[in-house]
Structure 1
Amino acid sequence: MLEIEVKQDKDSHQLNQLLCFNVPSHVHSVSIEVRNEQYMWLTYIVHDQQKKLRGQFIKVSTPQPIIIHQEQEKSSPYTYYGDIPEGEWTIDISIIAREEVKALNNWCTFTIMFNEASDNRKPDLYIWQDEQQSQNLLNVNDEIIFNESKRWYKGDFHTHTTFSDGKMTREENMDSAKNQNLDFFAATDHNIVPTSWFDETEILVIPGIEVSSPILGHFNVISTNDSPFSKHRLEDMFSVEGNVKLLSEDYGNALISISHPFLKHFNWKVTETPLDKIDSIEIWNDPTFKDNIEATKMALIAWNHLLNDGHKITGIGGSDSHNKPTEKYEGSTEPSLIGDPGTYVFCDQLTAANVVKGVKNGHVVVSRGEFIHFQIDDFISGDLCNVEKGTAKVFADTDDPIFFEWIVDGQVAKKETGYQSEFHFDFDKSYHWIRVDVRKKDGSLYGFTNPIYFGSKNPKLKKYGQLLEIMEK
């Protein structure tokens, strides 16, 4: 057994450190447990002697110890099973402490044991991991078909569990998703990628990660085969340059999405973000959280600027679910639920690859209520329309009249109350776009569509900071 103390030798609230420990020969498991003050946000990543990522952990309510085992059924979730090579392993640690504990000398203690693992797995888990252990990759089969139908599928691109700071277990997430009639959701715990999930045929679960910088904001990598921290350090999250590296990494066909970009205290501040690396923006984050009213308003304005500039970045929603289904945020009259808002994606068949493809193509509608039907002839959200003159139609299957706001080239071109609306257009041959915001009687957002495009335009805005400058004018 090894015990390693992590000390802070200066009066600071932040620590980034690389610990080393030696694994002897003939080891079949490594067990790691950390003890620390409760007023700390602690993340660590474990790499073995061959520099492969083997373990991921966030200290909130995550079960301990984490067990890295050569057998998959005895390895903890969020670890990579396989041979345990002898030699020097490393633990990459990142800690943020509150004022009341930052002056403490000893911030945490790691206890490491070998060949002491118990079965920490449930038999109903299926593995997303590369069984050959040839690379730091998950073996995610994104072509598994969950539904054969060609239609709109309802999902959620931003969820959390007890393995980061969520209050729901993975089982409870599944139950809640079923209750919300979701077809899919992305598992995006903070700074860790799931390596397994429950073998569930009803709901597609897509592995993801919310890269969460405590000072610069958050972004999601959805349907990823790898962790950003396979090749990078946790400390990269604390700098603009580091975040650009993390965001710009090659994640294959994964979806890169900025989370709640204007949410107070969690807004995206990485001004050097290359806009061509962003596939989508989380326009609407948990509608029951009071600060998201203003944040969503600002995100819609920013999105209009990007669309006007020629960027075809898709707008999505995310519940950012943290709470139990019965819990409400302070000041809210509604519980915070997975799938609120619902993000609908048009797919030929329900597979992870098709969901990502649908988002990248802009085939997305977001709604807190019923689905919002929006089209021009056979063209839907995200399509490039070759008709210069015609009629766009929108309707929602709701019992209550709603307000339709036709957004054309960034401006509200028409408002209409009812259950359906039409907009007649007659464009020239230059670049244009049309989308619809839908609101309730009280003016609160009911949902929005992505644009139908007419022509194309070469964007002039290259960096996120340029967008912020426009917003400030």
Structure 2
Amino acid sequence: MTTDYPPTRARGRGAAWYRGDCHVHSVHSDGELTPDELALRARAAGLDFIATTEHNRAAAPGVWAGPAADDLLVVLGEEVTTETGHWLALGLAPGRVVDWNHRAGDGQIGRRLEEVRAAGGLCVAAHPHAPYPSGDLEFPVEGFDLVEVWNGQWASDLPWNADNEATLAEWGRGLAAGLRAGSWRPAIGSSDTHLEGQLGIPHTVVRAEELSTAAVLAGLRAGRSWVAGSAAVGLSFTAAADGRVAEVGGLLVTRGGRVEVRVEVEGVPSGTVSVHTDRGQVLRVPLPGDGAVRWRTTARDSAFVRIEVRRPDGRMAALTNPIVLT
């Protein structure tokens, strides 16, 4: 990689949970902030990585090399903006542009997605129910690797709206079918930053073996991630059976035993924690003042478990990908 582009690996950053915003625009498409300004705000927002996703164009040479450093990974990407929906191509090579001249029904989307995957990238269904022309995704969501269930562009102060609610419900209903088919599409959340004050609201927290493009994409692809409304929100989510423990995105082999689900939340002073399985919402309790929320099940009763944390007015504060039980 030339010095005109950011490095693909931050040195000295090993296995950890990393916070990142996978959908960011600068002045090089239709955003109001420069790459330097975005990097400054990313650090202030507690982010470890951001993805530059300009509309139908590659990251410009030279503009992201300086803002990136060992404390901030910059992932190269593109928001592929078509007449029948938008999608994110993450992990592109320097200067690479994905052709956006395709639409639902013309038979081209599969080829475009495979081109990104063949180069090691990820394809994300962006804001599937966005309330503007071309924003509503008409391509089959099953073709994508990830689904952006929480998009923060249209509100501020921990946004959550009906469009996100519809996407979450649709994604949640598809989890059981995906598991039966041997695969499922993890969820992410992104700010879709265009304006001041949006970056990192929300963002995705991913377990990666190091702070590198390849490791972050691998964590996202596997669903080892959860979505936070801001860096102030912390969450721990595990499932345990007979001494074995799985974290979000993991597979827990229960051997028919009882499963104890444990959830701890920080940075959300009041609201509710809800537990969701293939049977829908199975538990909803107030956030405890201290300690953890615990719930028990079996693999026979629950094919998976995922968590939502909401504020008193119903707005989302955090949500997770599932732990699969077998």
Q: TM-score, normalised by structure 1?
A: 0.60
Question: Which amino acid is the alignment partner of residue 151 of structure 2?
Answer: N
Distance 1:212 1:250 in 2: 15
Q: Is the 2:279–2:302 contact (alpha carbons within 8 Å) kept by the matching residues of 1?
A: no
1:319 equivalent to 2:217? Answer no
How much is the aligned-residue C-alpha RMSD, in angstroms?
2.5
1:208 to 71, 74, 77: 77
Q: Is the 1:146–1:204 contact (alpha carbons within 8 Å) kept by the matching residues of 2?
A: no
How far off is 1:361 after superposition?
Answer: 1.1
How far off is 1:241 after superposition?
Answer: 2.5
Between the aligned residues of both structures, percent identity stands at 23
Q: Is the 2:223–2:248 contact (alpha carbons within 8 Å) kept by the matching residues of 1?
A: yes
Distance 1:357 1:436 in 2: 22
Q: Is the 2:151–2:191 contact (alpha carbons within 8 Å) kept by the matching residues of 1?
A: yes
Q: How has the CA–CA distance of structure 1 residues 293 and 255 changed in structure 2, closer, same or farther, with 3 Å as cutoff?
A: same
User: SS at 1:221's partner residue?
Assistant: strand
Q: How has the CA–CA distance of structure 1 residues 264 and 178 changed in structure 2, closer, same or farther, with 3 Å as cutoff?
A: same
Distance 2:55 2:302 in 1: 39
User: SS at 1:148's partner residue?
Assistant: coil
How far off is 1:254 after superposition?
Answer: 0.6
User: SS at 1:235's partner residue?
Assistant: coil
Question: Which amino acid is the alignment partner of residue 51 of structure 2?
Answer: A
Counterpart of 1:189?
Answer: 54
User: SS at 1:126's partner residue?
Assistant: coil
Higher RCO, Cα 8 Å, sep 6+? 2
The answer for unaligned runs of 5 or more in structure 1 is 1-71, 73-124, 129-139, 326-336, 456-473
Alignment of 1:265-344 (within 5 A): 265=132, 266-271=135-140, 275=142, 277-286=143-152, 289=155, 293-309=161-177, 310=179, 311-325=183-197, 337-344=198-205
The answer for unaligned runs of 5 or more in structure 2 is none
Distance 2:249 2:147 in 1: 14
1:423 to 285, 289, 295: 295
Question: Which amino acid is the alignment partner of residue 265 of structure 2?
Answer: A
Alignment of 1:6-405 (within 5 A): 126-128=3-5, 142=8, 144-196=9-61, 197-199=64-66, 200-201=68-69, 202-213=71-82, 215-225=83-93, 229=97, 232=99, 234-237=100-103, 240-251=106-117, 252-265=119-132, 266-271=135-140, 275=142, 277-286=143-152, 289=155, 293-309=161-177, 310=179, 311-325=183-197, 337-369=198-230, 370-377=233-240, 378-387=245-254, 388=256, 389-398=258-267, 400-405=269-274
User: SS at 2:43's partner residue?
Assistant: helix
How far off is 1:433 after superposition?
Answer: 0.6
Structure showing greater Rg = 1
Q: TM-score, normalised by structure 2?
A: 0.85
How far off is 1:248 after superposition?
Answer: 3.2
Question: Which amino acid is the alignment partner of residue 312 of structure 1?
Answer: W
Q: How has the CA–CA distance of structure 1 residues 250 and 321 changed in structure 2, closer, same or farther, with 3 Å as cutoff?
A: closer
How far off is 1:225 after superposition?
Answer: 1.9
Counterpart of 1:331?
Answer: none
CA-to-aligned-CA distance 1:375-432 (integer Å, 9 cap, x gap): 113311111110242201011122612300100115000011123311101232x870
Q: Is the 1:408–1:433 contact (alpha carbons within 8 Å) kept by the matching residues of 2?
A: yes
User: SS at 2:251's partner residue?
Assistant: coil
Distance 1:354 1:401 in 2: 34
Question: Which amino acid is the alignment partner of residue 162 of structure 1?
Answer: V
1:451 equivalent to 2:317? Answer no
Q: Is the 2:268–2:317 contact (alpha carbons within 8 Å) kept by the matching residues of 1?
A: no
Q: Is the 1:228–1:246 contact (alpha carbons within 8 Å) kept by the matching residues of 2?
A: no
Distance 1:308 1:399 in 2: 29
CA-to-aligned-CA distance 1:206-237 (integer Å, 9 cap, x gap): 00000001x2010001011277756x5x5335
User: SS at 1:307's partner residue?
Assistant: helix
